Amino acid sequence: MKKYIFMLLAGLVVGNSGCNNDEFLDLEPKNILLEEDVWTDKTLVTSVLSNLYGRFPDFQSIEDWDNFTEFDEAFASNAGTYGNHRNADYGYGSWGMWEYGYIREINSFIQKCEAATELDPADKAQFLAEARFIRAGVYFEEVKRMGGVPLILEPLTYDFSGDPSYLRQPRAKEHEVYDFVISELEDLKGILPNEVSDKARATKGSALAMQARAALYAGSIAKYGTSTPQVSLPGGEVGIPADMATGYYQKALSAAQEIMTLGYSLYQKKPDLGENFASIFYDKNNPEAIWVEDFKLKTGKTNGFTIDNQPRYQSEEQQGGRLNPSLNLVQSFENLDNTFAPLPIMDASGNLIHYTNPADLFAGRDARLYGTVMLPGTQFKGKELDIWAGYMRPDGTIITSSNLGGQADINGDGTNEQVVGFSGPIDGLEFTAQTGFYLRKYLDPAAGSGQIGTRSEVWWIRYRYAEVLLNAAEAAFELGQPEVAAGYMNQVRVRAGLTEPLTAADITFDRIVNERRVELAFEGHQLFDMKRWRLAHVVWNGNRMTVSDLTTNIGKADKTSTMPFGLWPYKYLADPNNPSNTDWVFRIVLPNPVTTPDRFRLGNYYSQIGEDVINNNPLIVRQPNQ
Amino acid sequence: MINNLLKEMPPSKSNLKGKPIFSMLLIIAIMCFCNSYIYAQAGNISGKVTGENGEGLPGVTVLIKGTTNGTATDASGNFSLSAPASGGTLVVSFVGYLTQELPIGNRTTINVALAPDAKALEEVVVVGYGTQRRESITGSVATVTSKDLERVHASTVGATLAGKLPGVSFRMPDGRPGASANVQIRNMGNPLFVIDGIQQDAGQFNNLAPNDIESITILKDASAAIYGSRGANGVVVVTTKRGKAGASRLNVDAYTGWQNWSRFPETVNAYEWMAGQADAEMNQNGRTNITPAELEKWRAGTEKGYQSFDWYDFIIKPNAPQTSINVNATGGTDKIRYYLSATRLAQQSVLGREFTFGRTNIQSNVDADITNKLKVGVQINGRIETRENPGVPGGDDYWAPRFALFRNRPTERPFANDNPAYVNDIGHNDTNWGVLNKTVSGYLNDNWRVMQMNFNGEYELPIKGLSVKGLYSYYLADHIVDIHEYTYDAYTYREATGEYERTGGSTNPYRERQTGKVYTTTAQGLLNYNNTFGKHTIGATLVAERLTRRETNIFVHAVPKTNVLPIIQFADVDTYNDSDNEQARMGYVGRFNYNFADKYFLEFGGRRDASWKFISDKRWGTFPYVSAGWQLTEEGFFKSLGINALTNLKLRASYGVSGDDDIGGLGAFDYIVGYSYPSGTTILDGNAVTGASTNRQVATTNISWFTRNQANVGLDYGLFNGKISGELDYFYFKRNGLTQTRYDVLVPSELGYALPPENLQSDAQMGGEASLAYNGTARGVEFSIGGNVSYSRHRFLESYKPRFANSWNNYRNSGEDRWTGIFWGLENAGQFQSQEEINNYPVNIDGQGNRTLLPGDLIYKDLNEDGKIDGYDERPIGFPRDRNPIVNFGLNFGASYKGFDFRADFSGGAGYSFLPENELRNPYQNGGQVAKVLYEDRWHREDPFNLDSPWVPGTYPALRFNQGGHSNNRQSDFWLINARYLRARTIEFGYALPAGLLQRVKIQRARIYLNGYNLFAIDNVHQFGVDPEVMDTNGLQYPQNKLVNLGVNLSF
């Protein structure tokens, strides 16, 4: 008996030290697909490709509300982001991108896909075309931010030889990157299917839309670069020769015109033009959208844009109110007679103008204003906004509260009344509408979109048909065809209620700039448009603004706009004994957290290339003016 | 009888799972039954067992040899039992005494005097894979036993260790119910926990029942190398209580206590809030809408709408109960020994009464001698651990109420028109405490159910001193988190109409369930040899060990249609995440001891260890160590010196290498090229596609663990026959092989991937410890005084070819050969005394030409004399703020006189920084409250409404409304505090009732006590109202509790 026990225990020790150690230690990972699993299976290739789509970079998007407050389109009503209105200069590194990890993965995908033997040839061609489309898009995103970058089209691998110099590549010329993007897309438009209803994957339409925009960018850099000769490098890494402008504009125009034959059209489904404009961004049954980043409820791919920015008062969650569109933007929307004017809050003799409803102030304006901005006196999700700053007495004194929806005794009868909106504005109090406005564009009216447990499936439209029309208009204008330009622009404007057509004579550079400003606000265009027109250092010139700076020169391309202003509605208390007997007056304000004007320096036109990048590759030349 | 007891146990054990209280009662009932049986038995042998001084020894086992017929002596040492007709032999045994065997013959009275067993009285210390006599230990090892731990009534085990052991650093930044302390060995990071021989995680350690722990040993130096690739940060070895041969005992330890926050920052009332805002607006803008008349109304506080609301009083409910009861039964015969225990702990919080922690533990340790040579044992421990609180949107549910204390203004009220039926819409209702309860906002239940079973067998081989041992352990933990957040409404009261209008609330129904399981197995085979040849004693241990761990997790989220039912419906589910991770480790251990005449000691050994984490050719590592000791007082020459007072002096030294496979930046399977799956979701063609990411393009095949080279020298001393004793230690531990990417080969960033890291960097942990204890008796008072202090600091040594763009960069950012975690900031040079001084000040303090400055604002030293204050003027100003203190110390006092006993333990720390920020620096942070200290002691104008009125100086700058970016708020030594504290951990008075009194009620021992925990602290952060161990810079962490409790120890 004892012998057996001894043997048993000894066996335990010995058995433990047996020869199957590696078997014991070699565990199988449960979350890693191997190469051979992937390249034989269409579904798994789609998985890899979907990840490449999913990481496509956007500087501003609905996944990142605060980037919209970097310029003058909006104020950030969020204490942690007030810094956007307090820093004098944009950092040279701002908006930079050097995404070669991502590019390597795309190149690697292309290489492996080409080598794959077990995929259906049609699938393989489609996968390759989509990957090349993503790559062209990424290089476009790179060149927009950085100028010329090394054009690497194959996955590089270091051989651990100790000498990595063979891996070094210099920056391409800026136009070479644009040329690469344009020629790739030229090639792809013949391969990719023309599927107007396919919005999330590359199609002929999205290839052409990207091509038109890229060519327009290259053309305007070539043309307007002459106004900032300092913003260039001798090797052409930054700056495009002026004589190339026409060729690019022609390409832009022809690509845009080709899209017009594919079956896309402006979204015009709703009779209320303001609501119609807002619907473009949340109605997915949509002939206008060309290429989008899609979201879907209950998939994990949802966004919190509505939660972040919904009106604080009627929010479904105690969340929202962060993006406050500026008065600077609001007043850029034209009157329906095609004129520009400040909002009429004061008559010629300096008396406040009274309105019975706060929304009346905005009557007779471009319908896109309603579709872009939530105005006081309008509704969201069927509920009236509660944006008002307090009661104003005839002597100009104000009764308000520093608490949301705060109450005070107005007429001294011992009864407290609400004296400020539940959405503010309260100066310096985050999440209130500190400019007097909230954002409507991309806000999701669906129930649940404002709940952190549900979120929103509103998509992010990267390319849409209205922009194509404006691209065509701009290219035609630059090519000396203002009547063609007017035709395209009027299509967009009619939809906004601006039924009085612009004539060829009306088409000016100012018009082109303002049309894009109001049509494409909060869609990620502003920075790159201002850069390519070389207007950024003019508009964001670091000068402090007064109210009169704000209200003059509206609609001018070079108008200074360095600080986001607001417009606060007050209930005017003519009879203190009867608080319900009120009408509305307005006051222009500069929110307290805005202390410093924005300044865009010449060195900001091309984002700084990191020291580490330059250290790692001595062939990389630095950006100018930094 | 004892066998009877064991037969009775299984049913009660199964009951323990669900109904602990019932089970405890059952155990009590059984034990009472057994005891009464003992006393009811008539016997024809009786006698008295006495100790070396002739005193009666209670609880001594008296047994007829070869039978189960036995008993135990009573409180006076008397016994009686029935003897067999044939005479037989009486076996009298007691822990710490030599067992005696006496032939009964025909005697009816046998008195026995037991002699102490010198060997048994020697302190035995649990070390890795075995035990050693204290005298023969050559490593740096510290031990604390149950008698020290049981006085600390903290809810988790780690929290009981403060100040108890030299070399153990301690910080408990968070004191919520069931919270654990940050306990580190010599500040090396997370140690390895070994419980009854099984490698375990910190959660299992912290949630053992403190009553069940026999001892905790800390392996501080190379002695931890025996744990190989996981021993680098030191090892905490825990042993649970075992039954001892002797009388059966039933012990009850119960207390009930009342908790209060040790400290929390104070805020201002509504008048002060409004006055401060007026002040701030005048300071910032030169104008304010607040009028003196309005302020006067707030000051009076009588008019409706002008009353201050005290959120602290509303949220914080003092004297939160904490209760614990432990019942254990222990005893055994010479063949079988048991320890059975059940403990129930219930802890509430001061946040209302719905934030709670509860834990039920069972421990069942049974050891049996099957034959003289074969022993088997089983240890089972299980627990149910429950954390419950209202479900609150956002991450940490304990954050919302604490944030509410500062986010909510005293001008806001929780209920509309003060009517509790209507939650007031204050615009940030996520901090409205009127909402934060289980009825309105939902619930969170977080439950652990854990069972660990160890089986072991030991067999003495025919060769003398050689034994073989096997151990198998299975551990299963089940973790379920259920969160259900309800929708609710918030109202505004319209006074004019008397209506409550719904103006806000939450329409977010949120339901979440996490289900996690942990499975671990441990298999060990041990070969042990121990023998003495004359003056030579030899010991050897060989171990083979295999460990597996698997963790599975499922996360489900749903948007339910209803608040009332918890069941999750598929149609409501929008997220389902699944994960499954496995680990495997194995190791071979060898250890050899040699001892010559208790004078010279030598130990060497090591471990060969492998971890699944690395590619197969980097898997195995060898971790050797050696240590030696020299008992000087045994030397002839020492004795001839005639230093009679010095009765013990032992020199020790150790050196070894231990490792850690938990290296930063390396995940399991990084040696495999492939696609991570899942990697995000993309919607293509309207359908969700799960992504596969190609980021695993280049395999990491060159990394292995880092190693820690541990050198330690120390000495143990004893004076006056051990009346004074202590230890001194010095250590220097160098780590090699920390990962870094080689930087002399600069690959272009356009390559698209960084070169894999390699084991290149090194750092060091260095310091020492000292301890001193004195035990004495004076006029019948037995007393002891002890203290320990430890110092351990982390220094970075060198990285591989560091590069710096310029000399400033080198100065500011280099870590080469420097202490780590140094806090950099500006040096404060006083405060501006007048506007004139500001106007004439030559240095641009605020970056805006000093336009934003007011009298009282901070002046910074322009160290580089460039006329402006910026990052170039920053210098080292403090210690790490988010680590355990560099210096830790403890003081322990104890005294007893007759039945009375007293005990006081203190612990403290220094060499760390506290940084007040946000709420503690920026008044009206988030538009909310103002810390009282910043309001009351501020620079302000005599008449806040008059810009020309004179300034009144204070300690803190003039108020601004939520202006975190002001130059006053830059990091500087004005704010940073290099903290130090000494706090009373445990102060206890106890009284044991006289034995004579107890005998009548059949109670062996009864003691009552009054105990205070964390009663006070002396420190230099109190002005902010923060607990000295708090880490969060806003000071709003849940601080440790003061606990006062009343308890009783009973033995039957």
The size of the A-B interface in CB pairs under 8 A is 322
Alpha carbon separation from A582 to A116, A403, A574, A577, B214 (Å, rounded):
74, 22, 7, 11, 78
Contact B496 A417 (CB under 8 A): yes
Say which residue, B1033 or B741, is predicted with more confidence.
B1033
B559 touches chain A (CB under 8 A): yes
Q: Which of A13, A296, A400 sits opposite B289 (nearest CB)?
A: A400
Contact B559 A83 (CB under 8 A): no
* pLDDT value of residue B461: 92
In a mutational test of the B interface, the residue from A3, A12, A387 whose CB has the highest number of chain B CBs within 10 Å is A12
Distance between CA B581 and CA B549 in Å, rounded? 8
Distance between CA B261 and CA B320 in Å, rounded? 10
Q: Of chain B residues 296-315, which have a CB less than 8 A from chain A?
A: 303-305
Distance between CA B919 and CA B935 in Å, rounded? 12
Banded model confidence at residue B39, pLDDT cuts 50, 70, 90: very low
Distance between CA B375 and CA B934 in Å, rounded? 67
Q: Which of B305, B430, B506 sits opposite A408 (nearest CB)?
A: B305
CA atoms within 13 A on the CB side of B689: 25
Q: Which of A29, A50, A454 sits opposite B691 (nearest CB)?
A: A50
* pLDDT value of residue B70: 78
Residue B239 phi, psi (nearest 5): -120, 130
Chain A nearest-CA distance from B887, in A, is: 36
Contact B748 A167 (CB under 8 A): yes
Task: Please choose, from the candidates B139, B140, B147, B143, the residue with its C-alpha nearest in 3D space to the C-alpha of residue B165.
Answer: B143
B608 touches chain A (CB under 8 A): no
Q: Which of B409, B682, B750 sits opposite A617 (nearest CB)?
A: B750
* pLDDT value of residue B13: 37
Alpha carbon separation from A57 to A293, B129, B208 (Å, rounded):
11, 55, 50
Contact A617 B374 (CB under 8 A): no
- For the cut 50, the answer to whether the pLDDT of residue B33 exceeds it is no
Question: How large is the average pLDDT for residues B647-657?
Answer: 94
Q: Is A405:B425 a contact under the CB 8 Å cutoff?
A: yes
Contact A414 B304 (CB under 8 A): yes
Task: Please choose, from the candidates A326, A375, A343, the residue with its C-alpha nearest in 3D space to the C-alpha of residue A564.
Answer: A326
What chain A residue is nearest to B669 in terms of C-alpha separation?
A29
Q: Which of A5, A29, A454 sits opposite B459 (nearest CB)?
A: A5
In a mutational test of the A interface, the residue from B426, B694, B924 whose CB has the highest number of chain A CBs within 10 Å is B694
Contact B583 A27 (CB under 8 A): yes
Q: Of chain B residues 753-812, which have a CB less than 8 A from chain A?
A: 753, 755, 803, 805
Q: Which of A22, A102, A415 sits opposite B616 (nearest CB)?
A: A22
* pLDDT value of residue B695: 67
In a mutational test of the A interface, the residue from B369, B472, B675, B969 whose CB has the highest number of chain A CBs within 10 Å is B675
Q: Of chain B residues 675-694, which have a CB less than 8 A from chain A?
A: 675-694
* pLDDT value of residue B147: 83
* pLDDT value of residue B120: 52
Distance between CA B766 and CA B188 in Å, rounded? 10
* pLDDT value of residue A524: 96
> Judging by beta carbons within 10 Å of its beta carbon (0-12, 13-18, 19+), is residue A12 exposed, middle or buried?
buried
What chain A residue is nearest to B494 in terms of C-alpha separation?
A417
User: Which residues of chain B make contact with A24, given a CB cutoff of 8 A?
Assistant: 546, 584, 586
User: Which residues of chain A make contact with B680, given a CB cutoff of 8 A?
Assistant: 51, 54-55, 301
In a mutational test of the B interface, the residue from A5, A8, A21, A25 whose CB has the highest number of chain B CBs within 10 Å is A25
Q: Of chain B residues 948-977, which have a CB less than 8 A from chain A?
A: 961-962, 964-965
Contact B692 A422 (CB under 8 A): no
What do you get for the CA distance between the two ends of chain A, in Å? 87
pTM above 0.90, yes or no: no
Structure tokens at B688: 């969700």
Contact B678 A31 (CB under 8 A): yes
- Percent of chain B past pLDDT 70, that is, above it, reads 94
Q: Which of A6, A296, A301 sits opposite B459 (nearest CB)?
A: A6
* pLDDT value of residue A1: 47
Distance between CA A519 and CA A466 in Å, rounded? 8
- For the cut 60, the answer to whether the pLDDT of residue B713 exceeds it is yes
Contact A31 B676 (CB under 8 A): yes
* pLDDT value of residue B923: 95
Residues B877-889: tens digit of each pLDDT: 999 999 999 999 9
- For the cut 80, the answer to whether the pLDDT of residue B677 exceeds it is yes
User: Which residues of chain B make contact with A542, given a CB cutoff of 8 A?
Assistant: none
* pLDDT value of residue B122: 65
Q: Which of B611, B684, B961 sits opposite A53 (nearest CB)?
A: B684
Question: How large is the average pLDDT for residues B193-209?
Answer: 94
Q: Which of A30, A296, A407 sits opposite B683 (nearest CB)?
A: A296
Distance between CA A343 and CA A358 in Å, rounded? 12
Residues B171-188: tens digit of each pLDDT: 999 999 999 999 999 999
In a mutational test of the B interface, the residue from A1, A27, A160 whose CB has the highest number of chain B CBs within 10 Å is A27
* pLDDT value of residue A73: 95
Distance between CA A86 and CA B49 in Å, rounded? 86
C-alpha dihedral (B268, B271, B277, B278), degrees to nearest 10: -150
Average pLDDT of chain B is: 89
Q: Is B607:B622 a contact under the CB 8 Å cutoff?
A: yes
What chain B residue is nearest to A613 in terms of C-alpha separation?
B749
Contact B584 A150 (CB under 8 A): no
Contact B503 A422 (CB under 8 A): yes
Q: Which of B668, B687, B748 sits opposite A168 (nearest CB)?
A: B748
Question: How large is the average pLDDT for residues B980-995?
Answer: 94
User: Which residues of chain B make contact with A400, given a CB cutoff of 8 A?
Assistant: 289
User: Which residues of chain B make contact with A50, given a CB cutoff of 8 A?
Assistant: 681-682, 684, 689-691
Q: Is B374:A368 a contact under the CB 8 Å cutoff?
A: no
Chain A nearest-CA distance from B395, in A, is: 12
- For the cut 80, the answer to whether the pLDDT of residue B117 exceeds it is no
Residue B838 phi, psi (nearest 5): -65, -45
Contact B752 A35 (CB under 8 A): no
Alpha carbon separation from A447 to A443, A454, B198, B508 (Å, rounded):
11, 9, 53, 10
Task: Please choose, from the candidates B146, B200, B130, the residue with its C-alpha nearest in 3D space to the C-alpha of residue B452.
Answer: B200
Q: Minimum mean pLDDT among A11-15, A36-40, B615-619, B953-957: which range?
A: A11-15
Chain B nearest-CA distance from A342, in A, is: 27
Banded model confidence at residue B37, pLDDT cuts 50, 70, 90: very low
Chain A nearest-CA distance from B964, in A, is: 9
User: Which residues of chain A make contact with B805, given a CB cutoff of 8 A?
Assistant: 611
Q: Which of A2, A34, A200 sits opposite B684 (nearest CB)?
A: A200
pLDDT averages per 10-residue partition of chain A, 626 residues: 50 51 87 91 96 96 95 93 89 95 95 95 97 98 98 93 94 98 97 96 98 98 97 97 98 98 97 97 97 95 96 84 97 97 94 95 97 96 94 90 87 85 91 97 94 92 98 98 97 97 97 98 98 97 95 96 97 81 93 92 97 94 96
